[in-house]
């Protein structure tokens, strides 16, 4: 059903009157776990609470809410409390190491964490690999170095493959906003989003190959980010699609997401596809409330399928545009060189024009090589470990050869030398260059569009037949921040605004999203 702008605004007025709490929601709170990281740290400095007590409360919430929503893969309570005690000691000595020092966070089930098994949220792998691993994923290492209190690991779709929050190991993750217990929280980073939304932790790590951070961010009403491809190295995490996979934060505020990104981003040779340039994280801790003032944003109309959006979703979208204008932005219709409808064809056309091999973002050899590198980092006999777990993994990543024996020759072929992957990377560079030229010519600082044009369906139902812009962002490798834009008449998150920039513009898009969030203030904690 299609409606005009006047009808959409009328729908919004009725909705707003029905949901006064959503409009009035604020981040400030007397409960530290429900506030921002800055508020929590300020309370610690005042002596209102300490990291140990808050960590105990977080673990209690995990045992209650985590079980209720099937959101937790494993808790690491003793280690978390030890980290909290160490942080309190540093605070007493005036030696807090970073804004994340003493902050409760989670990692996703596909991350290695010293002392815990890595189940991948898959029942068969949990059975095949019950032993604890003896290393941390690089992002976990970086969070520990920043003083963060890592509570454990969150549930996800098996091997982070789907977008529904369905784990064969821990069960269907539930959406905490849904009183019927039937709606999906989205995935694959379902548990991370739910843990953040319900105040089990301040922030959490997730991964995104085709929306796995942004989908649950919208469906649970939190902030989710897909950073620039390669900004966050992926060592120590069960691999997915190496040329698409991007790791990033989920949080209740853009500023908190930025703090998590600042801790985990930056070059490392362990990831062959990671960026190698030095990363300056300082802008991520100094986001400005007036960042939208005088900025021109490009509204990508091709990513707003009005004819397929409900009146409620359109009303949310019109209000989001109004909030952007009220924060000082100028909005202008912008048609990028490729859109959600054309990007795949454009990648292939670019390869054909070069006389290159066809692009393949899901090319089997890079994933096979990534799987080998993953196990080579955690065991002395990676081939034996892969042989043990291969059937369960290949069931999901079924572009891989059907048997271990067929896949084995691919293990040590460097992913950077895969012809289809290299062709994909060349097409990405060409298309991003054309996007940069178009944005520069239009004077557009960033693009905006709905993260997804619909709200959460039932977990057992097929999704609406609406093509989203999620894959567009992964194929181009651009940074995207998804911010809540409002709630529907049923109390469910109804829409999120995506702010999207060019590769390397992570701090800029976070700043713009922060300014929008400050104007709109749409986050509402699940009741």
Catalytic residues: 108, 188, 212
Query: Distance between CA atoms of 271 and 377, rounded to whole angstroms?
Result: 12
**Residue 282 φ then ψ, to 5°:** -60, -35
Q: What is the CA radius of gyration of the chain?
A: 22
Token couple for 232 = 């966050």
Query: Distance between CA atoms of 155 and 70, rounded to whole angstroms?
Result: 7
Q: Where are the alpha helices (DSSP H) in 93-174?
A: 123-128, 138-145
Query: Distance between CA atoms of 66 and 68, rounded to whole angstroms?
Result: 6
Q: How many CB atoms lie within 10 A of CB 257?
A: 31
Query: Distance between CA atoms of 456 and 175, rounded to whole angstroms?
Result: 9
Taking the alpha carbons at both ends of the chain, their separation in whole angstroms is 31
What lies within 8 Å, CB to CB, of 95 at 6+ separation is none
Adjacent-strand bridge partners of 172: 166
If 0-12 CB within 10 Å is exposed, 13-18 middle and 19+ buried, where does residue 78 land?
exposed
Which uninterrupted H or E stretch holds 255?
helix 254-264
Adjacent-strand bridge partners of 299: 333, 448
What lies within 8 Å, CB to CB, of 99 at 6+ separation is 37, 38, 41, 259, 262, 285
What lies within 8 Å, CB to CB, of 30 at 6+ separation is none
Helix (H, G, I), strand (E, B) or coil at 129: coil
């Amino acid at each position: 059903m299609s409606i005009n702008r006047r009808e959409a605004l009328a729908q919004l007025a009725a909705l707003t009157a029905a949901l006064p709490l959503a409009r009035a929601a604020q981040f400030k709170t007397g409960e530290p776990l429900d506030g921002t990281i800055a508020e929590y740290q300020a309370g610690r400095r005042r002596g209102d609470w300490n990291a140990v007590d808050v960590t105990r409360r977080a673990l209690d919430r995990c045992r209650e809410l985590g079980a209720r929503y099937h959101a937790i893969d494993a808790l690491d309570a003793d280690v978390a409390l030890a980290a909290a005690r160490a942080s309190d000691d540093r605070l007493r000595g005036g030696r807090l190491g970073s804004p994340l020092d003493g902050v409760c966070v989670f990692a996703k089930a596909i991350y290695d964490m010293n002392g815990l098994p890595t189940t991948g949220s898959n029942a068969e792998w949990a059975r095949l690999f019950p032993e604890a691993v003896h290393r941390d994923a690089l992002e976990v290492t970086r969070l520990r170095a920043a003083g963060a209190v890592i509570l454990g690991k969150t549930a996800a779709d098996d091997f982070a493959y789907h977008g529904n929050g369905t784990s064969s190991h821990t069960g269907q993750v539930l959406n905490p906003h849904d009183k019927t217990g039937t709606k999906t929280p989205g995935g694959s980073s379902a548990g991370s989003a739910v843990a953040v939304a319900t105040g089990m932790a301040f922030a959490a790590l997730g991964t995104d190959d085709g929306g796995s951070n942004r989908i649950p961010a919208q469906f649970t009403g939190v902030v989710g980010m897909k950073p620039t491809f390669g900004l966050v190295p992926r060592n120590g995490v069960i691999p997915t699609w190496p040329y698409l996979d991007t790791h990033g934060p989920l949080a209740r505020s853009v500023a908190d997401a930025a703090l998590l990104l600042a801790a985990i981003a930056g070059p490392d040779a362990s990831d062959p596809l990671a960026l190698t340039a030095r990363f300056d994280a300082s802008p991520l801790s100094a986001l400005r409330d007036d960042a939208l003032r005088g900025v021109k944003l490009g509204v990508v109309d091709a990513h707003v399928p009005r004819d397929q959006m409900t009146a409620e979703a359109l009303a949310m979208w019109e209000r989001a545009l109004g909030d952007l204008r009220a924060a000082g932005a100028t909005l202008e219709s912008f048609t990028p060189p490729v859109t959600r409808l054309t990007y795949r064809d454009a990648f292939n056309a670019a390869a054909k024009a070069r006389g290159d091999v066809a692009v393949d973002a899901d090319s089997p050899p890079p994933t096979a090589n990534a799987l080998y590198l993953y196990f080579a980092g955690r065991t002395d006999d990676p081939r034996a470990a892969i042989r043990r777990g291969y059937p369960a993994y290949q069931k999901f990543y079924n572009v891989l050869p059907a048997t271990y024996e067929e896949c084995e020759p691919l293990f040590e072929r460097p992913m950077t030398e895969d012809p289809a992957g290299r062709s994909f990377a060349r097409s990405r560079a060409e298309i991003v260059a054309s996007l940069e030229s178009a944005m520069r010519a239009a004077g557009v600082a960033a693009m905006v569009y709905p993260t997804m044009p619909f709200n959460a369906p039932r977990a057992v139902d097929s999704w609406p037949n609406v093509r989203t812009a999620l894959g567009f962002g992964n194929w181009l490798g651009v940074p995207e921040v998804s911010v809540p834009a409002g709630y529907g008449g049923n109390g469910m998150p109804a829409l999120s605004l995506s702010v999207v920039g060019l590769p390397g513009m992570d701090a800029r898009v976070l700043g713009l999203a922060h300014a929008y969030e400050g104007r709109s203030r749409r986050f509402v904690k699940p009741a």
